[in-house]
Amino acid sequence: MQAASDPHHAGFVAWAAAYARCASGGEAQPEATVAARARALGAALRQAVREDGLRTLVRARLLWRGRGRVALPRPYRPYWPYFHTQVTRLEGATAFLVSRAAPPGVPDEVYRGLVLFDFGLFFACHEYFEGLWRESAGPRRDFYHGLVQLAAAFYHHEKGNRHGAVTLLRRAVRRLQAGTAEACGVDVAALLAELEPWSDRFAAGQSAPYPVLVAAR
């Protein structure tokens, strides 16, 4: 949350979201048009929108820039729907984090990861909690490990990997049960009850509204 509202932050989220709103399939857009939209979004996201935010995306090869235009790199254009979905989710998570403080009893560092999950950023959530998990010990470590596996389960579900989703969900449930004593303000019992039907849904390739850990969206 601090990074998203830091005036020195690159503001790459606003640039990515602006491009996703301007384009319809990864095609080139005038940089000036994207920049104007990015500045408008940056105000809402409390991000300083400067050119280095766009440079960050270009260096990461997530966007192409040249001749006064911005585009999705050609090799990625077949994956435009995925790019658009993830950027939209990232914009939503960022807006949520900068506008709402963590609930009582939920540490800020945990809150950020939970919001990533709630907005469907499952890979990012997995990576985020993996860092916390590797630095922790005891029941808190089990709790973090459970969230790592939970995020991975839903990521595999979205990718169509039924076996991986079911396997990781079962592991996540065991870890979360073991880490209940250090759940950082999360109602693990309610979460486990909400997760109960998901093993069958994963196995059948079905979907439903995803569980919500902390964000009242």
- Give the pLDDT mean for 118-146: 94
| Whether residue 132 sits in one domain with residue 74 | no
Query: Looking at the domain assignment, is residue 177 inside a domain?
Result: yes
| Whether residue 48 sits in one domain with residue 12 | yes
pLDDT of residue 137: 84
- Please name the residues in contact with 51: beta carbons below 8 A apart, sequence gap of 6 or more: none
Q: Is the pLDDT of residue 192 over 90?
A: yes
Domain with 162 in it: 108-204
Query: Kind of pairing, strands 64-66 and 29-30?
Result: unpaired
Task: Pick the last residue of a domain from 27, 62, 80.
Answer: 80
Query: Looking at the domain assignment, is residue 167 inside a domain?
Result: yes
Better-scored residue on pLDDT, 22 or 217: 22
Check residue 106 and report its DSSP letter.
Answer: -
Within 49-186, where are the H helices?
51-59, 80-99, 108-118, 122-134, 138-158, 162-178
Q: 3-state DSSP call for residue 179?
A: coil
Residue 3 pLDDT grade (very low, low, confident, very high; cuts 50, 70, 90): very low
| Whether residue 66 sits in one domain with residue 7 | yes
Q: 3-state DSSP call for residue 26?
A: coil
CATH of the domain at 200: 1.10.3450.10
| Whether residue 119 sits in one domain with residue 191 | yes
Mean pLDDT of the chain: 91
| Whether residue 199 sits in one domain with residue 115 | yes
| Whether residue 189 sits in one domain with residue 119 | yes
Query: Looking at the domain assignment, is residue 23 inside a domain?
Result: yes
Q: Is the pLDDT of residue 8 over 50?
A: no
Tally of structural domains, the chain:
2
pLDDT tens track for 72-84: 999 999 999 999 9
pLDDT tens track for 23-32: 999 999 999 9
- Please name the residues in contact with 59: beta carbons below 8 A apart, sequence gap of 6 or more: none
The answer to whether the beta carbons of residues 21 and 88 sit under 8 Å apart is no
Task: Pick the last residue of a domain from 62, 80, 98.
Answer: 80
pLDDT of residue 68: 97
| Whether residue 61 sits in one domain with residue 134 | no
pLDDT tens track for 119-130: 999 999 999 999
| Whether residue 12 sits in one domain with residue 56 | yes
pLDDT of residue 11: 85
Whole-model pTM above 0.85? yes
Check residue 71 and report its DSSP letter.
Answer: E
Lowest mean pLDDT among 102-106, 110-114, 120-124: 102-106
